[in-house]
Chains A and B, each alone.
Chain A
Amino acid sequence: MRRRMVVVEGSYAVAHAVKVCKPHVISAYPITPQTHIVEDLSQFVADGDMNCEYMNVESEFSAISALIGASAAGARTYSSTTSQGLALMHEALFNASGMRLPIVMTVVNRALSAPINIWNDQQDSISQRDTGWIQLYAEDVQESADMLPQVYKLAEDEEILLPAMACMDGFILSHVYEPVILLEQSLTDEFLPPYSPEFTLDTKNPVSFGALADPSTYTEFRYKQEKAMGVALEKIEEIAKEFKDVYGRYYGGLIDEYALDDAEIVIMAMGSVIGTVKDTIDELRSEGEPVGLLKVRSFRPFPVDAIRSALKNAKIVITIDKNISIGKNEGALCTEVKACLYNTDLRIPVIGVMLGFGGRDIPMSTIKKVINKAKLVEKGIYVESEIADLREDMA
């Protein structure tokens, strides 16, 4: 099947994908670089192209809170935010997942203040790691859009019922114009069933949401959330394949691989930097370097088993993080990959590099430098995790 590609802004492709997913309620608050998505959605609603209620609220905190109410009332809901806005939502993110409300949100990844910076890194969503939300990271514009029906299907699965973030890198993906296929309404209707939750705020069948759980029951609520994440772990791949069957596109499920089979040096990364890594690998491979890529698509749930088996033959692992846990001098992917290898026989050195903070470019030359440094391991020199692209006057 050949479908027409159009050149549109990343934000437009995402807004269009939201439209075909037919949310009943959208609530959002503008913040760069998310603004174009909500502006496009507002226009769809204003033009009558979208049959949904768009709530212009007074803050991100109220945006997510309104969706908590709307989702509990039985609506399919959508929001988008980034950076400061996501941080402002923090408390409510736990609340949404604890109440098992499958709210879907596009996070347009951006750095956090101070110093204030509107450009891309992934500190914002990574800092929400433990809020109980599913987190998938997109590599390009098409995947950012295609991720939406997938996360709706995942979040609303009655065995999962967890909120989900579809993460895309700010500006790099949100503001770029790329040829994409806009999601077809008919295919989306086929792929994504309507949302019909069993429990809602229904006056015919009154239930209570958000009760007080004491020490005799609280643990079990957390356990069930973890269980649901476990189900998501199984279904992400399944849903990605169903998506492929319907739309013909596939980006991997939990993870994806590129030149990985015989790779001795494996780069692991999330988001738009993947494209640059692939180009770098192409060049190095032509020079005979055994370099490959392991793309992490799902950060929550974290694909421990998939990563372990994908790294079976690796000699050196390099993780690229656009975030840092200050005081650990490590990004989250690095920490998690190390942890997931520990209780195994695999003893692969994991070299953490932190790059691209606050929108700093990650050119192929930087990735090559990182790979060369990692090779010191072959000489028995271990390289600790570091911020790898400091200005020369700092380094």
Chain B
Amino acid sequence: MSLLKPGHRGCAGCCDALAGKFVLDALGENTIVVSPTGCLEVFTTPYPESAWGVPWIHSLFENAAAVASGVEVALKALGKKNDIKIVAIGGDGATLDIGLQAISGAFERGHNFTYICVDNEAYMNTGVQRSGGTPLYASTTTSPAGKVSFGNPQHKKNMPAIIAAHGSPYVATASVAYAPDMIRKVKKAADVKGPTYVHVHAPCCTGWRFEGSKTIEVGKLAVETAMWPLYEMENGVVTNVRKLKNRKPVEEYLKAQGRFKHLFTMQGGLEEIKKIQAIADWNVKHFGLE
């Protein structure tokens, strides 16, 4: 059985639950997990139950990287075996927004740990508010589409680049829709010495408004349209990308989700979709996806 046990309270088809399971599949029982506040944390540990088959700690929303670094240092100080893998698993809000300073500090200090961002592109736990990971024009509860708005006006923050700029030896993007690829990357991240990072794309059926049975499908469309490029960086250099054979237009990805529906119904919406297509085109060029 998986080390992330069944019976938790995640939505049916939950992306975060898949991500948590794949991380533990990759790392095994010799692992300590640190979770910031967010969906995965809340739905796995309704006291007195816990879905975690490994030691686990949740402290606050914005300090997972600092807590993880303290765990790492304590094990060193206590002379405990150094084959224990320490992993922080945080949402996009915990990672790109409120926890960024603690992450920066931990990566600068060079702790031997892995930070995994489970990016479902909004604050899901509190009801789908926008975050720094919310893509252009996604409608969220705090960036709703409306008569004079196409939804979230900002572009998604490029977190992997920020981490790479800290000199991390290994940074990768992954997707819950590509389990073997994700598991390989998480394993590799944990095996590489030093602070490493895996940014996992995680389509949230509840927040993005699609059927819970379509999580993998939507995740695949993100990759196939080049909205979510899969790549690995070693010491700041892109060393591996997942190439696209028959790239799909972004409309196919957008249409599958309620959060972009307004772009197809509002006047001028189709014109705005060109801006999203431009993001995909940039990804193709920048990462050499074709």
Interface residues of A (CB under 8 A from B): 24-25, 27, 52-53, 55-59, 61-62, 65-75, 77, 91-92, 95, 99, 200-203, 206-214, 217
Contact = CB atoms under 8 A, between A and B. Distances in A.
Given A24-B74, A72-B71, A211-B58, A58 B101 contact: yes
Contact of B54 (A52, A57, A73, A206): A206
A131 to B, nearest CB: 13
Interface of B: 29-32, 34, 41-42, 45-48, 50, 52-60, 62-63, 65-78, 80, 84, 101-102, 104-106, 108-109
Nearest to B67: A69
Contact of B59 (A69, A207, A212): A69
Contacts, number: 156
Nearest to A24: B77
Given A25-B73, A59-B101, A212-B47, A201 B63 contact: no
9 contacts: A25-B70, A25-B73, A52-B77, A57-B105, A65-B66, A69-B34, A69-B67, A69-B68, A212-B45
A211 B55 contact: no
B48 A217 contact: yes
B56 A206 contact: yes
A69 B62 CA distance: 13
B66 A62 contact: yes
B76 A206 contact: no
B73 A70 contact: yes
A294 B67 CA distance: 41
A203 B105 CA distance: 26
Contacts of A71: 70, 74
A72 B71 CA distance: 7
B77 A25 contact: yes
Tell which of A57, A68, A203 has the most Cβ of chain B within 10 Å: A203
B66 A75 contact: no
Contacts of A56: 109
B47 A203 contact: no
A92 B70 contact: no
A212 B72 CA distance: 24
A96 B163 CA distance: 28
A201 B54 CA distance: 9
Contact of A69 (B30, B69, B105): B69
Contacts of B60: 65, 91-92, 95
Nearest to B108: A58
Contact of A208 (B30, B56, B68, B106): B56
Contacts of B105: 57-59, 62
B63 A25 contact: no
Contact of A214 (B46, B63, B65, B78): B46
Nearest to B45: A211
